[in-house]
Structure 1
Amino acid sequence: MKILFWNCRGIGNFKTKLTLKNLCLSHNPDLVFLAEPMIIPDMIKTNFWCALNLKLFVVNNRENHITSLWGLCSPGLDPSILAISNQHISISLSMENKNLNVCAVYAHTNHVNRRSMWLDIQVDLLATQRPWCCIGDFNATLGTDECRSATLPSRASTNEFLSFINSSTLVNISTPGAQFTWTNKRRGNALIEKKLDTSLYCKRLIKEHWHTDVIGSPMFILIQKLKRLKKELKHWNYNVFGNIHQMVKMAKANMDTIQSSINEFGTDEALLDQEALAQNELLKALIWKRVGDSILSEQNDIADHVQQFYTNLFGSPNLTSTNALIQSVIPELVSDADNLFLTMLPSSEEIKQAVFSMSGDSSPGPDGFGGYFYQQCWDIVHLDMCKSVK
């Protein structure tokens, strides 16, 4: 399923309509949410939505004010409305025999007025056990790394947003593209840039597939659960992020178009900026490994090369001979009590500390899961993890 959220800041003008048309024709989204349309829905003719293969099915409730959030979907879908407020819309729908709940958000700019929205969404999340996706303009940042300005972002706003995510067992989805999604378009010290648009998903998918009965030793149980979950997450990843190979083709085509324009019309600031952005997008899309003068693009070739590299780096013949040199020159400094302490099984807290001391961005292990997964889902996987270690 593809979901498009766009703060269009006025859907009534021709330029915005054309941009929306290009977005829909390029990505063919199943759901579209428009924030700040700035007009009443009746001002857009039905045939415009039909041309985009969309239909308007819901707007938010702002009582006597113009609606600030519209929901559209492909004609074949029939979403059910779970909740509507002045800052969010929650829906439920079925697609390809899969059930999903979606919460679209256009939050108030004042963090005090957002407090009621946090509570409303949490009620929606608890009302059903289906997988959830929360997407939209939350008008809040998760930390200083999501804001670039002369002043720090509001601590109260950040803490309340983080508290909402943690208490709702939501996970922030990292997205490609621009680092900041909003700017006040000023210059110098007055410039403010923030990442206000966020996508969140509920860890319920992991919880549902993790709590399945597996018979065997603790290590066998852990391995089997990871294998099952990996299969489900692969399917989810494809549905969320799409075909990465097609993304590479699109990034290359965009790069070629911009460079052709530079060759034809000469260089100017706008084209150079576009070229820099296109190069960045292409680098993000490409997954390859250079070996000498050749490039490996197949995953199996890359995996074999990496394995062989570290085998050659750390592998060495294990040549040993028996002698009593160590026993004769090194006294016994480890007492029986010390030896018992060193060989005792680690506690659950020690295992947790070891997991959380890992870098979240470290390379995944043989199971395919990196440190970030275990840290974010510790509340779900910790029992099986601790049993397998002990």
Structure 2
Amino acid sequence: MNVLMWNERGANKPNFQIFIRYMLKKFKTNILALFEAHVGGDRAGRICQGLGFDNSFRVDAVGQSGGLWLLWRFGVGPVKVVEANNQFIYSTVGEGTDIMHLVVVYTDPTVSRRSGLWDKLREMLHGILEPVVVGGDFNTILRLDERTGGNGRVSLDSLAFGEWVNASSLTDMGFKGSKFTWRRGCVESTYVAKRLDRVFCNAHARLKWQDALVLHLPFLASDYAPLFLQLSLEVEVDPRRRPFRFKTALLQQESFKEMLMNS
């Protein structure tokens, strides 16, 4: 299963669908999470249908603010949205022993509007025994080395973010690619970049998908880089190369050793 997460900053941009289709063609995606879509209502519904996914759930934008979308294909199994608001969508994907709890997060950039969010997420995830994956745009950092430019301090909100990660027993899944997922400014004096987007999981998910990989994709139409989560890596097999097989029963044949020596 592959999940693409992207803060595109506006689904009503002229090139929005072009860039999304390019990403979906290049990276096989089962679930797509979009943040700050900045559009709602019928227009949001038409855009979701045009992206080629079988189902979608939206927390529509209010005016030109917000907008959180989750789109998925039939192949992932049943998807149930458990709870949602303007900062997260909590869903279960699959069923039975193959169930996964997926939370896509877009935290408000204004710290005061995040009040109670970390406590809410901690309570929501408490006691879940199945695999949990939490990812998205958290609009804050954990450590000083996750930013460049600007002031060199860790905010109180960053400390609260770190406390939530620890209290929820989550593990950062790491990444490959650019160190930062958000950037602003074109010259050195104004340039700021941070790692605001990331993916966490619990111990059950890490044990189930030990080879899972998070890629920081290139910046395209947004000042945010898309995140691509591969839970199970696909191994390409050349159909022209047949695997070697040996039947151990041949060792019991008296003539086998002689035939092997002659060969």
- Match of 1:34, SS? strand
Gaps of 5+ in 2: 214-228, 238-263
Shift of 1:24: 1.2
**TM-score, normalising length: structure 1:** 0.51
Aligned to 1:102: 102
- Match of 1:54, SS? coil
Residues 273-301 of structure 1: CA distance to partner in whole angstroms, max 9, x if unpaired? Answer: xxxxxxxxxxxxxxxxxxxxxxxxxxxxx
* RMSD, aligned CA: 2.8
Residues 327-352 of structure 1: CA distance to partner in whole angstroms, max 9, x if unpaired? Answer: xxxxxxxxxxxxxxxxxxxxxxxxxx
Aligned to 2:240: none
Aligned to 2:57: 58
Aligned to 2:174: 174
Preserved CA contact (<8 Å) 2:138 2:197: yes
Q: Which of 107-116 and 2-11 deviates more?
A: 107-116
- Match of 1:21, SS? helix
Aligned to 1:135: 135
Shift of 1:196: 0.4
Shift of 1:20: 0.3
Larger Rg belongs to? 1
Preserved CA contact (<8 Å) 2:209 2:232: no
Aligned to 1:165: 165
Preserved CA contact (<8 Å) 1:56 1:70: no
Structure whose residues are more often strand by fraction: 2
Tell whether 2:240 aligns with 1:240.
no
Once the two structures are superposed, the pairs formed by residues 65-104 of structure 1 within 5 Å of their partners are 67-76=66-75, 77-94=77-94, 98-104=98-104
Once the two structures are superposed, the pairs formed by residues 213-292 of structure 1 within 5 Å of their partners are 232-234=208-210, 240=231, 242-243=233-234
Shift of 1:153: 4.0
Preserved CA contact (<8 Å) 1:88 1:117: no
Q: How many residues align?
A: 221
Measure, in 1, the Cα distance between the counterparts of 2:27 and 2:74: 16
Measure, in 1, the Cα distance between the counterparts of 2:99 and 2:157: 32
Once the two structures are superposed, the pairs formed by residues 1-390 of structure 1 within 5 Å of their partners are 1-44=1-44, 46=46, 49-50=48-49, 52-60=51-59, 67-76=66-75, 77-94=77-94, 98-126=98-126, 128-205=128-205, 232-234=208-210, 240=231, 242-243=233-234
Preserved CA contact (<8 Å) 1:61 1:85: no
Shift of 1:244: 7.1
Measure, in 2, the Cα distance between the counterparts of 1:57 and 1:102: 14
Shift of 1:135: 0.6
Residues 99-134 of structure 1: CA distance to partner in whole angstroms, max 9, x if unpaired? Answer: 001111110113343241111211221153221100
Structure whose residues are more often helix by fraction: 1
Shift of 1:54: 0.7
In the superposition, relative to structure 1, how do residues 41 and 173 fare at CA in structure 2: closer, same or farther (>3 Å)?
farther
In the superposition, relative to structure 1, how do residues 163 and 236 fare at CA in structure 2: closer, same or farther (>3 Å)?
same
Preserved CA contact (<8 Å) 2:2 2:30: yes
Measure, in 1, the Cα distance between the counterparts of 2:143 and 2:103: 22
Preserved CA contact (<8 Å) 2:39 2:60: no
- Match of 1:113, SS? helix
Measure, in 1, the Cα distance between the counterparts of 2:40 and 2:209: 40
- Match of 1:103, SS? strand
In the superposition, relative to structure 1, how do residues 45 and 169 fare at CA in structure 2: closer, same or farther (>3 Å)?
closer
- Match of 1:14, SS? coil
Shift of 1:45: 5.6
Q: Which of 99-108 and 65-74 deviates more?
A: 65-74
Measure, in 2, the Cα distance between the counterparts of 1:65 and 1:19: 20
Measure, in 2, the Cα distance between the counterparts of 1:138 and 1:92: 21
Measure, in 2, the Cα distance between the counterparts of 1:146 and 1:187: 19
Measure, in 2, the Cα distance between the counterparts of 1:62 and 1:53: 21
Measure, in 2, the Cα distance between the counterparts of 1:18 and 1:28: 16
Measure, in 2, the Cα distance between the counterparts of 1:63 and 1:122: 26
Aligned to 2:256: none
Preserved CA contact (<8 Å) 2:38 2:61: no
Shift of 1:41: 4.4
Considering Cα pairs closer than 8 Å and 6+ residues apart, tell me whether 1 or 2 has the greater RCO: 2
